[in-house]
Chains A and B, each alone.
Chain A
Amino acid sequence: MAFIECRQLSKTYRKGAGTIRPLDNLDLDVDQGSFLALMGPSGSGKTTLLNLIAGIDQPSGGALTIAGQDIAKLSRSRLAQWRAKHVGYVFQLYNLVPVLTAYENVELPLLLHPISRKVRHERVAAALSLVGLADRHDHYPRQLSGGQEQRVAIARAIVTDPDILVADEPTGDLDKPSAHAVMELLCRLNQELGKTLIMVTHDAATAEYAGLTLHLDKGRLVEQSVQTAFSGETATTRTQDGGAP
């Protein structure tokens, strides 16, 4: 059984008199510890899929099972608990709380967990140290560069030791050196800590960091590319019907 299983997963929105279907009966299996990139044109459904896996949106149909738990059936409050425990989310625009320091931003998700202040402090310090920003713990977001802000956001995402890291265009707002540093960090988290990493990107170069790239179009899976561990060699398979490759 795959770590993440999507079966006939669909999402529909009402817009005016019409209905939009960003995800259309998608089937997908993701193994634990894999690094998956989602690519596709705007409106292809990649961010919708990411949000469903992250548990911040709910599917209109189908099943979404993560670590044996069908999260589509969870209530809003149970889903929040599930997110707090299992998911770390990295946004394109970092989304740090501006009135909180780097330390306080990273501490935010830990406040939901029944742990002592001392343990919280240790975990925040470890997370900041892992992203190389231990010396910036008392800086506010406005005092950090974009790359540093994104690294703080990554520290916030990993501080609870989640099983899954989801990243929505994590380098989309960064210059090349910062983007490279962030991607190196994400790769380390995937390879050294075994985090399952799912990333949405428009940038093919960024997608190359992932072991597997899925291409979506009109809510269906149309192509998958498998990278061979940074060698640059890529094996591409085209899917015929948008089903599981």
Chain B
Amino acid sequence: MIRIKFWPLVIKQVVRHRVRTLLTVAGVGIAMYLFVAIQAMQKGVAEATQASAADTTLVVYREDRFCPFTSRLPEYYLPKIKAIDGVESAVPIRVVVNNCRASLDVVTFRGVPRDQFADTIGRDVEVQDGSLDAWKKRSDAALLGETLAARRGLKTGDQFDAAGITAYVAGILASDHAQDQNVAYVHLDFLQQQTDKKLGTVTQFNVKVDDPSKLDAVSAEIDALFASAEQPTTTRSEKAFVAQVAGDMIELIGFTRYLGWGCLVAVLALVGNAIVLSVQDRIKEHAILQTLGYPSSLIGRLIVTEAVVLGTVGGLVGAGAALLTIRLTRMSFSVDGLSIPIDAGPLLLATGLLLSVALGVFAGLVPAIQAARRPIVTCFRAI
């Protein structure tokens, strides 16, 4: 790039037309805001649906059902599932949501037997605030995922209402697992009584296998076991389950990647336009610099640096604002009780910034080459 001693020259040129610069930076910022937000959604989808070699969780659901309101499985399936070779643990879960449609603010209750929580789901989560004992002791107690708690502004000791259920916050959970961050874990019997007015029916079973390589064999065996039962099952890995149940939404989010690319093209056009205008305004000045002995390559690099400054400042503002918004609002897409978090971290911020810099270079390249190649005398004559 250019030496530090030339930076004041670049900065003075960038702020020369303040309104133009502000508009360009604002445009780049908005485009990068959208880009980062879209990437955050894509990241959430990837985290929620892309299987990894370490996945060991299966979801047993009612065959041909995709909604927690219609998947009804007898709780007595549990010992039969546990008896299958390769099953490490299994937990019956009743799922109730306050809104069955796709939404950004869904409260998902998951009813889990109080004596099974610690040995199953509890192994993947950390109770950050409150305690598991407090949850066990109180029948209406709920352990909230940190995303849900933050979004609703709830803390330990609060009471909240959703889906016609009033629950007491006994603690806040932290988890790397997307599906645990946006739920309220309550006692299974409490949830059954609140919704069905009777015990014995669950929405699904979450099954842990003792070896990831056994996922397919165990799921096939579970489905075969209940194939002729009154409530036949379909068993899939948890991420495959999310991918299928939330398929429409995932497809929609997938489509937004084109909007993301559109944002990058917008950045390119905005910065390119600003630099082209700026260079056209300064044909004579570039000729003066060349007369003073500035080589063409340095003129070109000065122009590219101006474009990079515009792109970087806009990118920093936009990507930073997007990161802040996502972190503060803790939004996640929910459909049928499954969560797809909108998640942005420093890596996404760095990606946004890096892209802004790269786009700045590209946007400045053509006007820089044109300015550098223009003969000095022609520039003076052109004025």
B291 x A99 contact (CB < 8 A): no
18 sampled A-B residue pairs with Cβ under 8 A = A76-B295, A77-B296, A77-B297, A80-B293, A80-B295, A82-B293, A84-B293, A89-B291, A89-B292, A91-B288, A99-B12, A100-B12, A104-B9, A104-B12, A108-B9, A108-B289, A108-B292, A112-B292
A54 x B16 contact (CB < 8 A): no
Query: A21 contacts the other chain (Cβ, under 8 Å)?
Result: no
Query: A176 contacts the other chain (Cβ, under 8 Å)?
Result: no
Query: B211 contacts the other chain (Cβ, under 8 Å)?
Result: no
Query: B13 contacts the other chain (Cβ, under 8 Å)?
Result: yes
Determine which residue in B6, B284, B290, B377 has the highest number of CB atoms from chain A within 10 A of its CB, and name it. Answer: B377
B14 to chain A, nearest CB (A): 10
Q: A51-B377, A104-B8 are in contact. Are A97 and B292 (CB under 8 A)?
A: no
A37-60 vs B, CB cutoff 8 Å, 1 = contact: the mask equals: 000000000000001001011000
Chain B residues within 8 Å of A77, by CB: 295-297
CB nearest neighbor in A for B376: A56
Query: A239 contacts the other chain (Cβ, under 8 Å)?
Result: no
B175 to chain A, nearest CB (A): 54
Ranked nearest first, the 6 interchain pairs of A and B with the lowest CB-CB distance are A84-B293, A80-B295, A83-B293, A56-B376, A109-B292, A99-B12
Query: A143 contacts the other chain (Cβ, under 8 Å)?
Result: no
A201 to chain B, nearest CB (A): 18
- The total of chain B residues at the interface (CB under 8 A) is 23
Chain A residues within 8 Å of B16, by CB: 99
A43 to B285, CA, bound (A): 24
Give residues in A with beta carbon < 8 Å to B: 51, 54, 56-57, 76-77, 80-85, 87, 89, 91, 95, 97, 99-100, 104, 108-109, 111-112, 117, 156, 160
B1-19 vs A, CB cutoff 8 Å, 1 = contact: the mask equals: 0000110110011001000
Choose among A99, A104, A117, A156 the residue that contacts B292 (Cβ–Cβ < 8 A).
A156
CB nearest neighbor in B for A166: B291
Chain B residues within 8 Å of A99, by CB: 12-13, 16
A81 x B288 contact (CB < 8 A): no
Q: Is the interface of B mostly helix, strand, loop or mixed?
A: helix
Give residues in B with beta carbon < 8 Å to A: 5-6, 8-9, 12-13, 16, 284-285, 288-298, 375-377
Assuming A81-B295, A104-B9, what are 12 further A-B pairs, CB within 8 angstroms?
A76-B295, A77-B295, A81-B293, A82-B293, A83-B292, A84-B292, A91-B288, A99-B13, A104-B8, A109-B293, A111-B9, A160-B293
B5 x A111 contact (CB < 8 A): yes
A97 x B5 contact (CB < 8 A): no
CB nearest neighbor in A for B284: A95
B230 to chain A, nearest CB (A): 82
Chain A residues within 8 Å of B8, by CB: 104
CB nearest neighbor in A for B293: A84
CB nearest neighbor in B for A99: B12
A95 to B288, CA, bound (A): 7
A97 to B293, CA, bound (A): 15
Chain B residues within 8 Å of A85, by CB: 293
A83 to B291, CA, bound (A): 7
B4 to chain A, nearest CB (A): 10
Chain A residues within 8 Å of B294, by CB: 80, 84, 112
Determine which residue in B9, B296, B375 has the highest number of CB atoms from chain A within 10 A of its CB, and name it. Answer: B9
